[in-house]
A and B are shown apart, each in its own frame.
Chain A
């Protein structure tokens, strides 16, 4: 099965081509949906087969490389279309195809009746194709192909409803924003790639990493390489300062948000950092930067999430926040914990988004949670699955989010510092609070929507995916039960990924052993805190709704700061966007373009015109004049010949 891994890349591409070329002629939504979802489903089965085959092999035989063909062979650069099947890429492949498949099936229901139905499925397939390239690549160039591919697909999908309005502008603007912000990150990633090639003479993962773990390269080189790579990751994975595109990505259809946030694009940065763990482990100072950026992102995004009223916006900030946790994990050297959180997060965040989509679907595109309320009665499936996801993300045991989040918090305490842990826990409490604020305002309490709305449960094609994801959100954490509870076998997930990260682990300085008692104590603290946050949210938003508005008016300045997302977009506009626009308009357009470029082009034309107006006088049409010129010419030539004798 492992040798067939390339099918998981070719099948989505085939789905994209079939639906993209013939979709408008097929017209039948069922056929299009089955093709679109089917190719992902088969890919998932292949990935699953590859996983079990790998599982049955001894650890040292678990990595293979499937080479399709040689791509580039220029100078010292040799790049193949080669796919690496190992523990890390298999985990990612299972997440992408598994969660991706569920989202595809859900989309059949969600996008029902949309005039771009076939286009939507073609784009989704292309998205999966790009992401599979990204995670299975065995070299940086192929990874970059997928990296750019998901960027393109996010652009296409965020702007899918290109003719609709979105907030102050249009969905196309949101799509452009996502694309451009990602370009900035990609620039960093490219620089990192160039530096890697310069340092190691190769862009192949195995070569680079084996050299990196033996070679003695100056620490500053590692520092720059990882810094550039991390800039790339901040763009793709929406970290400070490049996170601004993600909330705007809500402009796309909800399944797109689920796909971007849970299974594909934003996890790319985390995956890349994990894949390059050896390089990052060689640059401890950048590891600290990664941890701090991650934690700051987690914290600030959570504070913004508390006050947002758009159901999808809350989830978007929650994603940014959770991604921050993943980078915190990377920064403290807990790579497998980070990947573990990628996985569990994929389950419950996809579930949250699809649940939100189900609600939006039922409420006829209404997205303001202040106009929901009491929806549990009308849509029990959605409500229960949403509740499960909210519990999971809040870190309530034994749901999946608990295991992965607490593992990160534990590592940030053990390998990092008390401060990292403390801020992490506070962020977790805020997460629990705003998730339940969302839940209570949407599904419980009084109905606050108008009589023109008739909420109803979504069709089976949408609720079954919700149920599948709910089951995964519940049991997903059990494969990573921490050592404290599972005894001598240790953390299974950790053991599975250990060979990938062993070189990095060897390089990292781990602090002294901490007792199991401490670990359990920290867990208890965060669980109690999360439970208290949930109860607080219940108290504020169900029992005493006036508290919320009173607090908001009391701390108006602070509330406005959060409501306006720390004015980051405005700052970007003022500091970067507007100056660029002004300079472009006044200097580049009026001077560089109009004067210099147009001037040069028109000047050449004018010069030719001037010369020809002189020469034109010679061309009179009088044959005798031509003859005269000829005679004079001959005379001159003769004279010259005679004089030169």
Chain B
């Protein structure tokens, strides 16, 4: 059995949907973060699959960018979450509604 690109895409789509569902439903901010990482990784998977399929290195190049940005984002995001936790003593998103006017 050869593993065609469809397998990669389906897996990637599944991972993405899991990520989306996690972002929309989970209350813990850190879990939400992990779900976002999951979505980013599913996108990375897609890009690598296409890079291999098309025989081009552009997709792989993009993956490095995404990983760099994701790492930076995680660092900043965690800092924000810690700051919020210090103020509110919770990281449950539904209890943090300071964006509301």
Contact = CB atoms under 8 A, between A and B. Distances in A.
A622 B24 contact: no
A627 B20 CA distance: 9
B61 to A, nearest CB: 25
Interface residues on A, range: under 10
B20 A622 contact: no
A553 to B, nearest CB: 84
Contacts of A624: 23-25, 32, 93-94
A631 B24 CA distance: 9
A621 B97 contact: yes
Contact of B99 (A621, A627, A628): A621
Contacts of A620: 97, 100
Interface string A583-626: 00000000000000000000000000000000000011111100
B98 interface: yes
Nearest to B27: A624
Contacts of B100: 619-621
A623 B20 contact: no
B101 interface: yes
Interface string B4-28: 0000000000000000100111000
B36 to A, nearest CB: 10
A628 B98 CA distance: 18
A621 B24 CA distance: 14
A429 B101 CA distance: 87
A622 B94 contact: yes
A471 B97 CA distance: 94
Contacts of A622: 93-94, 97
Contacts of B25: 624
A619 B94 contact: no
Nearest to A635: B20
A627 B97 contact: no
A623 B99 contact: yes
Nearest to A625: B24
A622 to B, nearest CB: 6
A628 B32 CA distance: 13
A625 to B, nearest CB: 9
Contacts of B99: 621, 623
Contact of B93 (A623, A628, A631): A623
Contacts of A623: 93, 96, 99
Interface residues of B, number: 13
Contacts of B24: 624, 627-628, 631
Contacts of B93: 622-624
B92 to A, nearest CB: 11
Interface string B60-97: 00000000000000000000000000000000011011
Nearest to B97: A621
A631 B39 CA distance: 13
A621 B23 contact: no
A622 B97 CA distance: 6
Contact of A631 (B20, B94, B101): B20
A478 to B, nearest CB: 89
A620 B98 CA distance: 10
Nearest to B23: A627
Interface string B23-45: 11100000010000000000000
A253 to B, nearest CB: 63
B29 to A, nearest CB: 9
Interface in A221-276: none
Contacts of A631: 20, 24
Interface string A625-640: 0011001000000000
Nearest to A622: B94
A115 B58 CA distance: 92
A619 B97 CA distance: 10
A284 B68 CA distance: 101
A502 to B, nearest CB: 82
A233 B100 CA distance: 69
B85 to A, nearest CB: 16
A382 B96 CA distance: 94
A492 B20 CA distance: 108
A619 B23 contact: no
A624 B92 CA distance: 11
B20 A619 contact: no
B79 to A, nearest CB: 17
A621 B101 CA distance: 8
A30 to B, nearest CB: 69
A543 to B, nearest CB: 94
Nearest to A626: B99
A624 B28 CA distance: 11
Contacts of B101: 619
Contacts of A619: 100-101
A619 B101 CA distance: 8
A234 B20 CA distance: 86
A562 B52 CA distance: 116
A393 to B, nearest CB: 81
A281 to B, nearest CB: 77
A611 to B, nearest CB: 16
Contacts of A628: 24
Nearest to B36: A627
Contacts of B98: 621
B80 to A, nearest CB: 12
A587 B36 CA distance: 66
Contacts of B20: 631
A631 B16 CA distance: 12
A224 to B, nearest CB: 65
A25 to B, nearest CB: 55
B91 to A, nearest CB: 12
A628 B20 CA distance: 9
Contacts of A621: 97-100
A165 B93 CA distance: 75
A624 B25 CA distance: 7
Nearest to B20: A631
Nearest to B29: A623
Contacts of B23: 624, 627
Interface of B: 20, 23-25, 32, 93-94, 96-101
17 contacts: A619-B100, A619-B101, A620-B100, A621-B98, A621-B99, A622-B94, A622-B97, A623-B93, A624-B23, A624-B24, A624-B25, A624-B32, A624-B93, A624-B94, A628-B24, A631-B20, A631-B24
Given A620-B100, A621-B99, 4 more contacts: A619-B100, A619-B101, A621-B97, A624-B32
Pairs of residues from A and B, 5 with the lowest C-beta to C-beta distance, nearest first: A621-B100, A621-B97, A621-B99, A628-B24, A624-B24
